[in-house]
Amino acid sequence: MDKNRYELNVQLAQMLKGGVIMDVTNVEQAKIAEEAGAVSVMALERVPADIRKDGGVARMSDPSMIAAIKKAVSIPVMAKARIGHFVEAQILEALRIDYIDESEVLTPADEECHIDKTKFSIPFVCGARNLGEALRRVAEGAAMIRTKGEAGTGNVVEAVRHMRTMNREIRQLAQMPVEEVTGFCKSNGIPYELALKVKELGRLPVVNFAAGGIATPADAALMMQLGCDGVFVGSGIFKSADPAKRARAIVKATAFFNDPQKVLEASMDLGEAMPGLEISQIPPEQILAERGW
Amino acid sequence: MSLRLVSSKPSVIGVLDLQGGVQEHLEHLEAIGIPYKRVKQASDFTDLAGLIIPGGESTCIARLLDIFEMKDPIINAHRNGMKIWGTCAGTILLAKEVTGENSCLGLLDIVVERNGFGSQLDSFVCDAFIPCVASEPIPLTFIRAPKIIAAKNDVNILLKLEDYIAAVENESILATIFHPELTGCLAWHRYFAVKCGLNPSMDDKQEFFNNEWKTSSWMKHSRIA
């Protein structure tokens, strides 16, 4: 990928800042999301809550379904490829969608290697639990990062953990004398050059969104106040009682995350949120965030 | 922000801060020494000489303008002399006509087609020479850009490329379908500041390019550590 192309891909993510990216499973939902003010939609066959319930192998969605959604909306369309499944990514690039999510929500295709994203012209977003994981993905060519909160649970605790961990590690790095950076990189599996960049910038070198378990306007505003550039909402919208209303409310709360009065207004009369799942009740082999490294 | 003598004349350029590339514009305004602020609600319009509506997703920004009743404050401030510049999504919001859908602010007599080039794989950069803006060719960045299909009545075309119009203006509004805030070029921000009746700082070396600018420069407005 040439330098201009990567910059353009990072810059598209910049244009999504302050916005909400919503999981949708059909044209009708995509239109509801766009109408509510989503900055992008993630097209997939089943939202994470259903993938979790159904079990089995979760793969890239049917391209004809993704194509129908792409045709129905004017906002950018994202879709998921399995971790390491570079052919699914090639198919999504050939389909000319706008962004690929190399996602732990799908069953990994490769337990050793993530996709070499530098070989693609299309941009990738990848999940990360900490600074090392985020920068390894950036080193592989990711143009955008998101937290790896436990998808399909309606429980924001893991996304908060990931964001706090990244922030803590960024602060440590920023205050560290440069001779300590090598050791910090060694113990955290961080590419050295990128660590120096983060030290200088005081944040990740690409846009970082919150993802996983966001179910309410308050969850979205919480992640924004923790320093995220925007939010993904997966099951949280279309597994709730009134998706259109909740979608609009989360868009409002994300834009005005620092204004409690407006987040309060957004939180009124939304009906039931999606059912939540306590993380400790999930069998260890079903923890999605452990997929990928 | 640079220090200015107190005067009653509006001297600040605001950036509409609902969604999108806000920090990128703040960074450029800072580089040309113009006082700037984020504009998030009706009370923020009081002292504005100009307003930038940034790139982002136009449907999202339009929805937020509606929900938070921000359209009238913009239209009223414009009527009272505030200049406006829309980049990318901002152009769509300013247009009187948007192909296949309703217009948002409808302040500029142009016809716009949303997402006129295709997907992100069709985003591109190029250079162009716009004599009234800069004396040398400047870089332009198009990201899932709209196309301006027609400019009517009082609207002048500043740049036409192939089958579409890329930049237009009338007496009070400037619109560009590309993103000057995503390059190191300061020429468009200077041009808009002058249009607002302000005096951007004129450092010879920085007339067109901010040599210190990097793709990550906006991040100083969004640091964690």
Work out the pLDDT band at B47, boundaries 50, 70, 90. Answer: confident
Residue B4 scores a pLDDT above 80: no
Asked if residues A10 and A207 have their Cβ atoms less than 8 Å apart, the reply is yes
Q: What is the ipTM of this complex?
A: 0.94
Instruction: Write out pLDDT tens, residues A189-215.
Output: 999 999 999 999 999 999 999 999 999
Chain B interface mutation, best of A74, A176, A263, highest count of B Cβ atoms under 10 Å: A74
**pLDDT recorded at residue B208:** 81
Residue B126 to chain A, least CA–CA distance (Å): 10
Residue A20 to chain B, least CA–CA distance (Å): 9
User: What span, in angstroms and rounded, lies between the C-alpha atoms of A19 and A178?
Assistant: 35
pTM of the model: 0.96
C-alpha distances in Å from residue A95, one per residue of A78, B145, B176: 11, 19, 29
What percent of chain B is predicted at pLDDT more than 90?
84
CB contact under 8 A, B60 and A98: no
- The answer to whether B124 faces chain A, any CB pair under 8 Å, is yes
C-alpha distances in Å from residue A158, one per residue of A55, A129, B80: 21, 9, 49
- In one-letter notation, the amino acid at residue B167 is A
Nearest by CB to B224, which of A17, A123, A167?
Answer: A167
Instruction: Write out pLDDT tens, residues A220-233.
Output: 999 999 999 999 99
Work out the pLDDT band at A93, boundaries 50, 70, 90. Answer: very high
Asked if residues A45 and A25 have their Cβ atoms less than 8 Å apart, the reply is yes
Residue range A40-44: average pLDDT? Answer: 96
**pLDDT recorded at residue B203:** 65
> Rounded mean pLDDT of chain B?
93
Asked if residues B21 and B55 have their Cβ atoms less than 8 Å apart, the reply is yes
User: What span, in angstroms and rounded, lies between the C-alpha atoms of A159 and A236?
Assistant: 14
> Which residues 124-153 of A have a C-beta within 8 angstroms of B?
none
- The answer to whether A171 faces chain B, any CB pair under 8 Å, is yes
Asked if residues A163 and A228 have their Cβ atoms less than 8 Å apart, the reply is yes
**pLDDT recorded at residue A9:** 98
Q: Which of B121, B147, B114 is nearest to A98 (CA)?
A: B121
For residue B19, give every residue at least 6 positions away whose Cβ sits within 8 Å of its Cβ, in sequence order, or none. Answer: A17, A18, A19, A39, A255, B56, B57, B60, B61, B64
User: What span, in angstroms and rounded, lies between the C-alpha atoms of A38 and A20?
Assistant: 5
Residue contacts between A and B (CB atoms, under 8 Å)? 138
For residue A51, give every residue at least 6 positions away whose Cβ sits within 8 Å of its Cβ, in sequence order, or none. Answer: A58, A105, A106, A152
* Partners of B83 in beta bridges: B50
**pLDDT recorded at residue A154:** 93
Q: Within 10 Å of residue A53's Cβ, how many Cβ atoms?
A: 10
**pLDDT recorded at residue B1:** 52
C-alpha distances in Å from residue B57, one per residue of A81, B14, B107: 24, 19, 19
CB contact under 8 A, A12 and B144: yes
- The answer to whether A159 faces chain B, any CB pair under 8 Å, is no
Catalytically annotated residues of A: 80
Q: Which of A55-64, A158-167, B200-209 has the least mean pLDDT?
A: B200-209
Instruction: Write out pLDDT tens, residues A146-203.
Output: 999 999 999 999 999 999 999 999 999 999 999 999 999 999 999 999 999 999 999 9
CB contact under 8 A, A16 and B67: no
Nearest by CB to A205, which of B22, B123, B216?
Answer: B216
What percent of chain A is predicted at pLDDT more than 90?
90
Instruction: Write out pLDDT tens, residues B19-35.
Output: 999 999 999 999 999 99
* Helical segments of B80-140, H only: 89-94
Residue B2 scores a pLDDT above 70: no
Work out the pLDDT band at A55, boundaries 50, 70, 90. Answer: confident
Residue A121 to chain B, least CA–CA distance (Å): 7
With 0-12 / 13-18 / 19 or more C-beta atoms within 10 angstroms meaning exposed / middle / buried, residue A279 is middle
Nearest by CB to B55, which of A15, A93, A96?
Answer: A15
Which residues of chain A are within 8 Å of residue B127 when distances are taken between CB atoms?
none
**pLDDT recorded at residue A77:** 98
Q: Which residue has the tokens 């960049």?
A: A197
CB contact under 8 A, B118 and A39: no
- The answer to whether A225 faces chain B, any CB pair under 8 Å, is no
- The answer to whether A217 faces chain B, any CB pair under 8 Å, is no
B88 is an active site residue: yes
Work out the pLDDT band at B183, boundaries 50, 70, 90. Answer: very high
For residue A105, give every residue at least 6 positions away whose Cβ sits within 8 Å of its Cβ, in sequence order, or none. Answer: A44, A48, A51, A58, A80, A151, A152, A234, A288
